[in-house]
Amino acid sequence: MKKTFALTVFLLGGALAGPANNSLVVGTSQEPPNIYDPWNTNNLSITSEINGYLGASLIQLDDNGEASADIATRVPSIANGDYKIVKDAKGDVVRNSVTYTIRKDAKWSDGTPIKVADFQFWLKLENDDRVPVPDREPWNRAKITAADTDTFTITYEPPYLFADQTSPGLAPSHVMGAAWNAFDAKTKNEKDAKVTSEEWKKFLSAYTTARNLPKVVAGPFKPTAWRSGNSLTLTRNTNYWGQPKNLDNYVKTVTYRFIPNTNTLKVNILSGQLDALGTVGLTFDQGVDLARSERGKFKTYFVPGAVWEHIDINTRGQRSKDLDLDDPRMRQGLLYAIDRDALTKALFQGRQAVSNSWIGPISKLYKKDVNDYNYSPSKAKALFTAVGWTPGSDGILQKGGKKLTLNFSTTAGNTTRERVQQILQSQWKAVGVQVNIQNYPSSVIFGPDFLSKGETGKWDMAMYAWSNNPIFEEGNLFKASGIPTAANGYSGQNNSGWNNAEFSKLQTQAKTEFNQADRIKLFDRMQTIWNAEVPSLPLYFRVNTYTKVPGLVNYTFSAYTQYPSWNAAKIGWASKGAVEEYKQK
């Protein structure tokens, strides 16, 4: 009998995906290095996506950007008194604080109640110099004061603009506390940072890796098997307080299959081995390709995202001065010379909307009525002429005997960007701008000696993307203090080197403007300035491509939630009785 079964399995080959056994099989092209690291020492998207199944937070956002309480009993607000802003005599906000009360039924997966001590433990380690978190904003200025074991207030001084939109993390102190104390004793007098680093890895890997799965979690699922390089299986955490009614109607297990090659991922979808894809997987082109082969077996989605594709113009160094790239008219001319509408229609079926600001349309700060720089070669030529560049005998613009030749770089091997380059190169050529394509591997482009060192003249235009969260927008990308220099360790993001005093002043002001309406006004002006000067040529906001089979409900995401795991508890099959609450927009 067993042999017959084995032979059947061998011949049929298919994985047990789908509603048949009320499970969900998700494909992704990346495997996380670790999962449920409370301090997020790796910040990969796939880690965040999987952590969505395993974790819980005091408050969380839904697909519409609306906050809801998870571990907390309610969403803090000024109206209910849980969010407080303290001003000085001049009216400036000097600190703000948020009070949270933990639900009585909030428990770790081993049944231990979640207490204030778990948040305190998390914050203590987050701010410990030995813990290699990439940055500590805003936790380096946060302090937790416990009212009792279930209620605490977190105070930010200086104040934190998004204090009511975010919440501190938590870590199971009853599980990790003793090991942390041992780590602390062993390394507190250690001079060699490498030794401390190795000890930290030992500590963390005991709770987060394939060999040592997280011992407890707080979210709707818990990890039960992780076969390195192959798959990760999660099963329901029965101690999670937010499980839906009629739990049997919702998926019982979620299996992630790690398929690094995206073409192989495609074959897996076409052959019905996967119920859905995660957010790290298909390219846009592959999504378009799959959309043609759906035949009712799956559906392809293109979800508007928060990743902004653009071309930085280098305004620093002698070369940029010689080429007049530090003159806004020159940059405006370059933008008028390209037909972005036609480009997105030709390459992206118009699914990736042209942008005219670095802020996405979904954000409350987005300014719609800015100059849209519609394709106008005549305006482009007029602007170049105004700066002194006139066509030579070969049609190429010249000034003082020097031809206008720009070096245009992007990440080599990114076929979408390379195709965009080809189109833009020919459009610029049509107005007399000669563009040389000089691409480099991403390790070079994003390495220490390229984008951040614009003053060396290694690049004139660089195409890449920023991920802009629609809520936590501070205008950091173009502030003057964000220009990478030796003094700031080349840590800023303003790679174009654009320095506008009014923009930077407004940006500083907006960082401490707690009134949303006034903040919108400040960003309105900032976007007007930016749009007039265009230090970067805005291209489009990327969409996230994924597929899922019909009947899978509550597997959705938006630019706010970013990953379908935000609503992990409610994911299920309609045929099994799962109730649909959110539709994919």
> Site residues for other proteins, window 41-70 (CB under 8 A)?
43
Determine, following the binding rule CB under 8 A, whether residue 386 of this chain makes contact with other proteins.
no
- CB-nearer residue toward other proteins: 212 or 246: 212
Establish whether the linkage from the previous residue to 260 is cis, with ω within 30° of 0: no
CA-CA distance, 33 to 37, in Å (whole number)?
10
Distance between CA atoms of residues 120 and 133, nearest Å: 17
Q: Is 83 exposed, middle or buried (0-12, 13-18, 19+ CB in 10 A)?
A: middle
- Among the listed ranges 47-55, 265-273, 379-387, 422-430, the one in contact with other proteins (CB under 8 A) is 265-273
Tell me how many helices (H) and strands (E) the chain has: 15, 21
Contacts of 215 (CB under 8 A, 6+ apart): 110, 172, 175, 207
**Minimal distance in Å, beta carbon 189 to other proteins?**
16
Q: Is 268 in the site for other proteins (CB under 8 A)?
A: yes
Judged by CB under 8 A, which stretch of 113-121, 270-278, 319-327, 505-513 contacts other proteins?
270-278
Which one, 17 or 433, has the nearer CB to other proteins? Answer: 17
In angstroms, the Cα distances linking 308 to 46, 127, 403 are 19, 31, 31
Least distance from C-beta 221 to other proteins, angstroms? 17
Query: Closer to other proteins at the Cβ: 29 or 239?
Result: 29
Which of 166, 231, 315, 499 binds other proteins (CB under 8 A)? It is 231
Q: How far is the CB of 268 from other proteins (least distance, A)?
A: 5
Q: Provide the mask over 435-454, with x wherever binding to other proteins is found by CB under 8 A and - wherever it is not.
A: --------xx-xxxx-x---
Which one among 104, 227, 297, 321 touches other proteins, defined by CB under 8 A? 227
Nearest-angstrom CA–CA distance, 49 and 165: 19
Site string for other proteins, 470-489 (x = CB under 8 A): ----x-xx----x-----xx
CB of residue 314 to other proteins, shortest distance in Å: 17
Distance between CA 549 and CA 564 in Å, rounded?
Answer: 14
Within positions 491 to 520, which residues make up the interface with other proteins, using CB under 8 A?
A: 491-493
Interaction mask 516-545, other proteins, x per CB under 8 A? ------------------------------
Cα distance between residue 26 and residue 232, in whole Å? 10
260 binding other proteins? (CB under 8 A): yes
Q: Does 390 bind other proteins (CB under 8 A)?
A: no
Q: Could you say which residues in the range 324-363 bind other proteins, by CB under 8 A? A: none
Question: With binding defined as CB under 8 A, does residue 259 bind other proteins?
Answer: yes
CA-closest candidate to residue 233, choices 506, 15, 70: 15
12 Cβ contact partners less than 8 Å away, ≥ 6 residues apart: none
Q: Is 229 in the site for other proteins (CB under 8 A)?
A: yes
Task: List residues bridging with 93 in a β-sheet.
Answer: 87
| CA 553/CA 574 separation, integer angstroms | 6
By the rule CB under 8 A, 554 interacts with other proteins: no
# binding residues, other proteins (CB under 8 A) = 73
Give, as ranges, the residues between 135 and 154 that touch other proteins (CB under 8 A).
135-137
User: Reduced to 3 states, what is the DSSP secondary structure of residue 392?
Assistant: coil
Only segment of 86-94, 230-238, 297-305, 374-382 that touches other proteins (CB under 8 A): 230-238
Q: Among residues 45 and 153, whose Cβ is nearest to other proteins? A: 45
SS3 string, 26-40, reads EEECCCCCCCCCCCC
Q: Which of 66, 87, 92, 134 binds other proteins (CB under 8 A)?
A: 134
Rule CB under 8 A: choose which of 96, 101, 196, 527 binds other proteins. 196
Binding to other proteins by residue 20, rule CB under 8 A? no
Tell me the backbone φ, ψ of residue 144, rounded to 5 degrees: -100, 130
Give Cα 254 to chain centroid, integer Å: 23
Retrieve residue 355's tokens.
């942008």
